[in-house]
Amino acid sequence: MSEMQFSHYERLGGEQGVRRLVDRFYDLMAQRSEAEGIRKMHPENLDGSRDKLFMFLSGWLGGPALYIEKYGHPRLRARHLPFAIGEAERDAWMRCMSQALDEIGEEQGVDTMLRDHLKQSLWNTADHMRNLQP
């Protein structure tokens, strides 16, 4: 089977790889000073947030549709409307996710083309979550 026939989920290491990506993302969000604003949008205990992002990304990356099975359609924009999200919040989220994706991608041997593609797709989604005017 060629690399092109594997889903992004599989290429990132399946369940374990996606879980590591999510955990690293939230660890970075808690550590990086520029992510303090987005960290404050989350509950103190991040277990539920970690689980929801893991379930969402599993399906989004071509693996099991865990989020949809449990919660239905993600309705990402509607779920994020209660939070003030502007360019700074989008950028902080992306810096944490990009670093996590690079670190996990390197561990899994994921080529930079796929990582760049995923970053662009995630940036598009993060940008769509903005609800504050620049």
Q: What would the pLDDT profile of 32-74 be if each residue is shown by its tens digit? A: 999 999 999 999 999 999 999 999 999 999 999 999 999 999 9
> What pTM value is reported for the model?
0.92
Sequence ranges of the domains in the chain: 8-128
Nearest Cα to 22, choosing from 56, 66, 71, 70? 56
- pLDDT above 50: residue 31: yes
Nearest Cα to 134, choosing from 77, 81, 85? 85
Cβ of 103: how many Cβ atoms within 10 Å? 15
Token pair for residue 131?
């609800």
| Tally of CA atoms within 13 A in the half-sphere of 56 that contains its CB | 15
* pLDDT per position as a tens digit, 94-107: 999 999 999 999 99
Cα gap 38→30, rounded to integer Å: 9
- pLDDT above 80: residue 133: no
- pLDDT above 90: residue 115: yes
Domain 8-128, CATH among 1.10.490.10, 1.10.3720.10, 3.40.50.300, 2.40.440.10: 1.10.490.10
**Confidence band for 1, pLDDT divided at 50, 70 and 90:** very low
Distances (CA, A) of 31 to 34, 39, 57, 66, 88: 9, 9, 22, 28, 17
